[in-house]
A and B are shown apart, each in its own frame.
Chain A
Amino acid sequence: MIAAIPSATLLGVEGRRILVEVHVSNGLPGFTIVGLPDTACRESRDRVRAALLSSGLPWPMRRVTVNLAPSGVRKAGAGLDLPMAVGLLVATGEIDQSAVAGCAFVGELGLDGTLRSVPGVLPLVAAVSTETVVVPWTSVTEARLIGGPAVCTARSLRELVDVLRGSRSWPDPEGVVGGSKAVSSPPPGCRRAPDMADIRGQAVGRRAIEVAAAGGHHLLMSGPPGSGKTMLAERIVGILPPLERAAIIETCRIHSSAGLPLPERTLAGEAPFRAPHHSSSAVALLGGGTAYLRPGEISLATNGVLFLDEMAEFPTAVLDALRQPLEERVVRIARARATVTLPASFLLVAAMNPCPCGRDGPHQICECSDSQLERYARRLSGPLLDRFDLHVAVQPLSPKELFGSEPGEPSSRVAARVATAREMAQARGVPYNAAIPSYRLEELAPLEDKAAALLRRRVQQSSLSARGLDRVRRVARTIADLMEVEGPVPAEAAATALELRAGRRALTGRWVA
């Protein structure tokens, strides 16, 4: 007899629908799995056997063939244990075919029959086409997030078989809130992003992160250690507008397929914040790996912020590999068997020291030799620096400023302005101002006469290139939006946009005698 159980397997961050066919016939006893299973999949045989026997169910002394259709696609992971076990039970007649009709199964089996969670439950559940899906106990929250198929669960194989035979009903996990409700009411006690009121002084730095959040402009901060760059970066997610439901699902899906627990703050609508260490490899940052094609940091940061602290310490090859995802907003990973496209739409925030010794400001002398400085300058390629629309120099506060100045604006006020600015951008037809294409700048971001004269003078002085001019105009448009100016961009916004790029001059000027 043949049983066919729907299930799914993971490919990158997407799930893929598959069918587990189990065929039982006479012949020498054996259990064969076909359909390109990977190692974990092949080991399913032993797990299923032990689980069945531990649950008091018979193991057939017949020839069993399991086909994972479609057979051309590589199946990865242990999530097919459960459909194989259920298929076997149906094929041997232990469970009725009608009991599992319209039901998909996903889960790993322990040797004692417990149902275990697998990474990527969210995309897997999103991929199945049946009305019901059975997942392990601990994956219920994730599975119900999609709001697609009805989610049922069991704690062990024995329990599941009892339900399917009709002797008991589906257990309902307590305290698990289903579907859309999980999205808006996060578990109590989850931390929110730090508040901008903690930052004193730093007018330029605070404005820079506001503009970055409002327009989606990539930001580079340079300054000596202890000047507050990390503090500023951590507060950006607190002023970004709350994520839409689709974005939350996407972020959770990516986290799920990376095997990470669902980020609580994301469920509450806060954008993800990833800060990889500079010893991360290119694969860790971009995604990849041989067996799993796991999403990297840039995919995990999608819809949120990727913070590269000590950017100059990252290997040059890794930084250069970032350029294409920054342009295209996706990262394409090609392997021999498959090419996967992972989302990579994030706001890049980077911090770096102006020179290797890090001491370059008032009251401090830079101790670096000429060759050290030249080598440092060469680590950051021109094209990479060019991707940053905003480039500010952050200086540490003097003791007088630290204790004398008032606390800065709280995040709530800044976030309100940012939200308004984003709405204005969306009314123009772009998701955010950084995405305005060059040929539409004149149409969507016209300049007032004074502003145009100001920028023209800079171009004539050769302190601004044509490409730089385009970037300044986009930033100026965002600043004007933050000022709630609907019409042409005023001169004040253009001047501020130039100020927010001033760090670039410091970086390149320092290494010239």
Chain B
Amino acid sequence: MRGVRGELGGGVGDSLPDVAYAVALSRLGAMTPRRLRLLLGLDDARTVLEGVVAGDPELAERLCRLGGAVSPQSLEGPLDMEENWGISGSPECLRHAEATARSLLRRWQKEVTSINVSALWRDLGDRGMTVVRRGRPPYPNRLLRAREAPELLYVRGSIEVAVRPCVGIVGTRRATHYGLGVAGELGHELARYGVVVVSGLARGIDAEALRGALAAGATAPVGVVGGGLDVIDPSALRRLFDEVSTAGALVSEAPPGTSPDDSCFSLCQRVVAAMSQVLVVVESSWQGSPMHTVAAADSCGVPVLAVPGSIRSPQSGGTNAIIQDGGAGVACHPDDVLAALSLICLEDGTPLPGEAGRRTGEAGARTGEAGALGMHRRGRRVRPSVPAICPEQLDPAERAVLQAVDDVGTSTDTVCLRTKLELGTVALILDRLEELGALRSEGAAWVRN
């Protein structure tokens, strides 16, 4: 193809990186991810774009003949269809495909005049975003495992952290205090051992895991979003968005300005699954969205661990079910996750957790054991530092109240019913126990610390 320089919108020079042209291509109307991939597979992005501008007839033919662009479905098809690079279809299909390709190219030729490549690139730069192209560094290699891996990734922050061991933590948006506590701890501990926590930025488990990872201050997490990186939804998570993009990376395959909807959500889940070496589901109901992430992980060959929960809690219905039918291993402790991760790292040849990040000597020795032998030590429960309460310090009534509070969330009414004490006495004791650090209040309920 002969390139026609200088005809692309905006007085283009040689200074823009090739991926800028890919971005421009992606903004054309009716450009599905599959079509984008086919186009970018032909040549480098700049040449392709110039070809579209010029209305090069060869382009249409090459597009059709690229083995796979034959059946009309492959040009129109939904994203989760299997890749089909063989030639198939009758001569009518071929002709239909050619006609579709030509009409698309005509349309794109008209639209491309209104696209200003350098302005687009500058705009991305102003928003603090970079774009990473599939297959070219620093695109995470693990992502290639995903079905229909994203062609272009918009990134805020630095995606290079993803070379470290990655664990995905997902869960329901309507989590219980139990699930939130586990997610936060898990994120915190894994980050301390140099593991990159990957999660979607939904409220509930995902957000709590990222917060835990940020709080450890050791290894930066990666957040995956369904919509554009500048659209923050729900707005209550604004601070989390900013912190994750500053400390680690925020990625999305949707261009800025896209508002997230449910279909974007399922796409971003496959990114989370593919980027992780191990996926941990903390809490999920039977039909919850984390179950789709589990399915995506299965198709990429990523092992799944699930945290069991109370059989009475609907939020643990899904996690308990996948443990039961063998689809997932059990994670009762961060060590379980680290052990599974170490095995994978040994297979992959990537650095083991604990070796690749800052950690204390004790932690290194621990994980060294876990990594080398695949065994793990149990027993010590990991908690933020809180002075332990000796039961002898408390009088019988206080002890009774402490007993009555579980770690899921107990209302004051229930405490009164269980201890058979008066409300005034119970209120005073609850306040004293909170002062001592044995309890904390979550909304209108009390939770054991």
B-binding residues in A (CB < 8 A)? 201-205, 207, 362-367, 370-371, 374, 392-393, 395, 401, 405, 454, 457, 479, 483, 491-493, 495-496, 498-499, 502-503, 505-506, 509-513
B424 A495 Cβ-Cβ under 8 A: yes
Residue positions of B touching A, CB distance < 8 A: 173-174, 203-204, 207, 233-237, 240, 285, 312-315, 408-409, 411-414, 416-417, 423-425, 427-428, 430-431, 435, 441-445
A510 touches B423 (CB 8 A): no
Query: Nearest Cβ in chain B — how far from A391, in angstroms?
Result: 9
How far is it, in angstroms, between the C-alpha of A207 and the C-alpha of B236 when the chains are bound? 34
Residues in A neighbouring B234, C-beta threshold 8 A: 370-371, 374, 513
Contact status A491-B428, CB under 8 Å: yes
Most buried by A among B173, B237, B408, B417: B417
Report 24 cross-chain contacts, Cβ distance below 8 Å, ordered by A residue. Answer: A201-B413, A203-B416, A362-B409, A363-B314, A365-B285, A366-B174, A367-B174, A370-B173, A374-B234, A374-B236, A392-B444, A454-B431, A492-B425, A492-B427, A492-B428, A496-B424, A499-B412, A502-B412, A506-B443, A510-B443, A512-B236, A513-B234, A513-B236, A513-B240
The smallest beta-carbon distance between A217 and chain B, in angstroms, is: 16
Complex contact B441–A207 (CB within 8 A): no
Q: Given that A365-B174, A502-B444, A513-B203 are contacting pairs, would A496 and B233 also be in contact in the complex, using a CB cutoff of 8 Å?
A: no
Asked if residues A365 and B423 are in contact (CB atoms below 8 Å), the reply is no
Complex interface: chain B residues within 8 A of A491 (CB): 428
**Residues of B contacting A: mostly:** helix
A131 to chain B, nearest CB (A): 57
Residues A405 and B417 in contact, CB atoms below 8 Å apart = yes
Chain A residues, CB < 8 A from B312: 363
A513 near B207 with CB under 8 A, answer yes
Report yes or no: B413 in contact with A202, Cβ–Cβ below 8 A.
yes
A362: which B residues are within 8 A, CB to CB? 408-409
Taking CB atoms, residues of chain A closer than 8 Å to B425 are 492
Kindly name the residue among A395, A491, A496, A511 whose own CB sees the greatest number of chain B CB atoms within 10 A.
A496
A502, B440: Cα distance in complex, Å = 13
B201 to chain A, nearest CB (A): 9
Residue of A nearest to B240 (CB): A513
Neighbouring B residues of A512 by C-beta, 8 Å: 236
Contact call B413/A502, Cβ cutoff below 8 A: no
Contacts of B412 in A (CB 8 A): 203-204, 499, 502
Structural contact, B423 and A370, CB atoms closer than 8 A: no
B424 touches A479 (CB 8 A): yes
- Could you tell me the distance between the alpha carbons of A511 and B443 in the complex, rounded to whole angstroms? 11
The answer to whether B428 and A374 touch across the interface, beta carbons within 8 angstroms, is no
Q: What residues of chain A lie closer than 8 Å to B204, measured between beta carbons?
A: 513
Quote the shortest CB–CB distance from B237 to chain A (angstroms).
Answer: 5
How far does the alpha carbon of A137 sit from the alpha carbon of B315 in the complex, in Å? 67
Q: Which of B413, B441, B442 contacts A204 (CB under 8 A)?
A: B413
Tell me whether B423 and A204 are in contact (CB under 8 A): yes
Q: What is the CB-to-nearest-CB distance from B323 to chain A, in angstroms, rounded to a whole number? A: 19
In Å, the complex CA distance between A392 and B411 comes to 11
Q: Do A365 and B314 form a contact, CB below 8 Å, given A203-B413, A203-B416, A511-B236? A: yes
Q: How far is the CB of A188 from chain B (nearest CB, A)?
A: 38
Knowing A395-B413, A479-B424, A493-B424 are in contact, say whether A509-B442 is a contact too (CB < 8 A). yes
CB of B114, distance to nearest CB on chain A (Å): 33
Residues of A within 8 A of B423 (CB): 203-204, 207, 496, 499
Closest 9 CB pairs of A and B: A513-B203, A506-B443, A506-B444, A393-B444, A495-B427, A203-B416, A370-B234, A495-B428, A492-B424
B442: chain A residues within 8 A (beta carbon): 509
A346 to B431, CA, bound (A): 33
> Which residues does chain B contribute within 8 Å of A207, judged by CB atoms?
423
Q: Which residues of B contact A204 (CB under 8 A)?
A: 411-413, 416, 423
A503 to B313, CA, bound (A): 23
Q: How far is it, in angstroms, between the C-alpha of A457 and the C-alpha of B445 when the chains are bound?
A: 19
Q: How far is the CB of A33 from chain B (nearest CB, A)?
A: 63
Q: Given A365-B174, A495-B428, 5 more contacts at CB 8 Å? A: A205-B413, A362-B409, A393-B411, A499-B412, A502-B412
Closest B residue to A401 by beta carbon equals B417
**Whose C-beta in chain A lies nearest to the C-beta of B418?**
A401
Closest Cβ of chain A to B172, distance in Å, is 8
**Chain A nearest CB, measured from B47 CB (Å):** 44
**How far is the CB of A400 from the nearest CB of chain B, in Å?**
9
Interchain CA distance A16-B370 in the complex, whole Å: 92
- Closest residue of chain B to A510, judged by CB? B443
Tell whether, in the assembled complex, residue B443 and residue A505 are in contact, meaning their CB atoms are under 8 Å apart.
Answer: yes
Report Cα–Cα, A351/B423, bound state, in Å.
22
**Given the complex, which residues of A lie within 8 Å of B409, measured CB to CB?**
362
Q: How far is the CA of A366 from the CA of B285 in the complex (A)?
A: 12
Q: Which residues of A contact B313 (CB under 8 A)?
A: 363
The residues of B that contact A205 with a CB separation of less than 8 Å are 413
- A389 vs B423: C-alpha distance in the bound complex, in angstroms? 18
Contacts of B203 in A (CB 8 A): 370, 513
Q: Which of these, A365, A367, A371, A495, contacts B315 with CB under 8 Å?
A: A365
CB distance from B232 to the nearest CB of A (A): 11
Most chain A CB atoms below 10 A, which of B204, B430, B444: B444
Name the residue of chain A whose CB is nearest to the CB of B314: A365
Task: Give the CA-CA distance A366 to B203 in the complex, in Å.
Answer: 13
- On chain A, the residues within 8 Å of B235 by CB distance are 374
CB-nearest residue of chain A to B421: A203
Q: A203-B412, A495-B427 are in contact. Are A364 and B314 (CB under 8 A)?
A: yes
The CA of A367 and the CA of B174, in the complex, are separated in Å by 8
Measured in the bound complex, the distance between the Cα atoms of B442 and A512 in whole Å is 12
Cα separation A509 to B203 with both chains bound (whole Å): 13
Q: List the B side residues contacting A370 at CB < 8 Å.
A: 173, 203, 233-234
Q: Given A363, A454, A483, A506, which contacts B424 in the complex, CB threshold below 8 Å?
A: A483
Q: Which of B313, B423, B425 has the most CB of A within 10 A?
A: B423
- The answer to whether A496 and B427 touch (CB under 8 A), given A203-B412, A370-B233, A395-B413, is yes
Q: What is the bound-complex CA distance between A205 and B445, given in angstroms?
A: 14
Residues of A within 8 A of B174 (CB): 365-367
Q: How far is the CB of B442 from chain A (nearest CB, A)?
A: 7
Contact B441 A502 (CB under 8 A): yes
* Residue of B204, B315, B413 with most chain A CB atoms under a 10 A cut-off: B413
How far, in whole Å, are A365 and B435 apart by their CA atoms in the complex?
A: 31
* A496–B423 CA distance with the chains assembled, in angstroms: 7
Q: Which residues of B contact A499 (CB under 8 A)?
A: 412, 423, 427, 430
How distant is the Cα of A207 from the Cα of B425 in the complex, in angstroms?
13
> Separation in Å of the B235 CB from the closest CB of chain A?
7
Q: How far is the CA of A366 from the CA of B237 in the complex (A)?
A: 19
Chain B neighbourhood of A511, CB < 8 A: 236
User: With a CB–CB cut-off of 8 A, which chain A residues contact B435?
Assistant: 457
Q: How far is the CA of A155 from the CA of B386 in the complex (A)?
A: 84
Chain B residue nearest in CB terms to A392: B444
CA distance A508 to B444 in the complex (A): 10
How far, in whole Å, are A202 and B424 apart by their CA atoms in the complex? Answer: 14
Within the complex, the shortest CB–CB distance from A446 to chain B, in Å, comes to 19
Most buried by B among A483, A493, A499, A510: A499
Closest B residue by C-beta to A395:
B411
Q: Which residues of B contact A505 (CB under 8 A)?
A: 441, 443-444
